[in-house]
Copies of this chain bind each other. A is one copy, B any other.
Amino acid sequence: MFSNTEDSKTKLSELGEFGLIDHLTKHFSIQQSSTLKSIGDDAAVLEHKDPIVVTTDMLVEGIHFDLSYSPLKHLGYKAVMVNLSDVYAMNAKATQITVSISCSNRFTVEALEELYAGIHHAASLYNIDVVGGDTTSAIKGLSISITAIGTAKKEKITYRSGAKPNDLVVVSGDLGSAFMGLKVLEREKEVFKVNPNSQPDLEKYTYLVERQLKPEARKDIPELLEKLGVLPTAMIDISDGLSSEIIHISKNSNVGANLFEDKLPMDPALIATCEEFELDSTTVVLNGGEDYELLFTIDQKDYDKIKGNPNLSVIGHITEAKEGIHLITRANQKLPIQAMGWNSMDKEEN
């Protein structure tokens, strides 16, 4: 034991599986009228009038997160966001999640409480119920597997496949920041390894780091589009990078696309930090992942409805499939867009 605080930590084995789930979920309340039965039986029971959407994502320690700079509470929050983002990308409302966690005995009850505090915070803020869970041991590391359920009227559900030539390509928020937040955190980790007494001044990177560690899913965008009377023709969330996602929409819709470099939404902190790291900000915006913004296409007749909205940027338009997928640069060059994704970009640089 290195400190007194360690003495007061509780081993997972002291509670056992059932005790642990009860303990971790006892503060969770039910907010959705569609939840007939939550945790506590062989299965949850849900009653939805409209079709449901179901999506699942697993986050694995050492692959998707690094606990040396990711606080457990943020990690719990992010694990929920990653899944809700997929629900919103169907133009649906998220309603329930199930959470499965496996972890080695290096994690204490208090550590899992932190993780669940983040999950609970996300569930409260986004008005979703945690209706099922499984907590199990692992030989090594921490994994979080979440399944999210949402609902939408059948005619509102938006697939990747509905984009048509001349549709406008729209994106919410700004892009690339989560990737640069990761770059900043990785640099600080290296500095810390060399000098554990360093006091990093991360203040100017606050926005970028927060985008990486505690992203928000765009619950507001389907709501906004509903209010504006806009039904997107295709939609996807940006988890792997803009290039990868526009290629998914193009392939699934059998169309092409032109995106305009000067329209890509970037935060000033992103531009400054790209300069500092000597990275091209357009490359980061195209290939940096984990922004969890929504990329969608709309019919041109809906342009006036979204025009000037600070949450939305029109970044291009859909073309015929044979025209391919291109970026029109500031210098008016036409460059083919290829899938890279942030994993690939990471590999190139490391």
Contacts and interface: CB of A to CB of B under 8 A. Distances in A.
A61 interface: yes
A158 to B, nearest CB: 9
A134 B45 contact: no
A329 B238 CA distance: 62
A138 interface: yes
Contacts of A58: 100-102, 134, 136, 143, 145
SS class, residues of chain A in contact with chain B: strand
A48 B89 CA distance: 21
B149 A54 contact: yes
A56 B90 CA distance: 22
Contacts of A64: 136
Assembly of this chain: how many copies? 2
A54 B60 contact: no
Interface stretch (A36-44, A112-120, A218-226, A315-323): A36-44
A123 to B, nearest CB: 15
Contact of A63 (B87, B137, B160): B137
B63 A43 contact: no
A53 B45 contact: yes
Interface residues of A, number: 60
Given A48-B52, A56-B147, A140 B141 contact: yes
B56 A100 contact: yes
Contacts of A44: 53-55
A85 to B, nearest CB: 8
B60 A138 contact: yes
A98 interface: yes
Contact of A132 (B54, B101, B136): B54
**What 3 A-B pairs are tightest by C-beta distance, nearest first?**
A145-B145, A43-B55, A42-B89
26 contacts: A41-B90, A41-B159, A41-B252, A43-B150, A45-B52, A47-B51, A47-B52, A47-B154, A56-B98, A57-B100, A58-B100, A58-B136, A58-B143, A60-B138, A61-B139, A63-B102, A63-B136, A63-B138, A63-B139, A98-B147, A100-B145, A132-B147, A138-B143, A143-B143, A143-B145, A147-B147
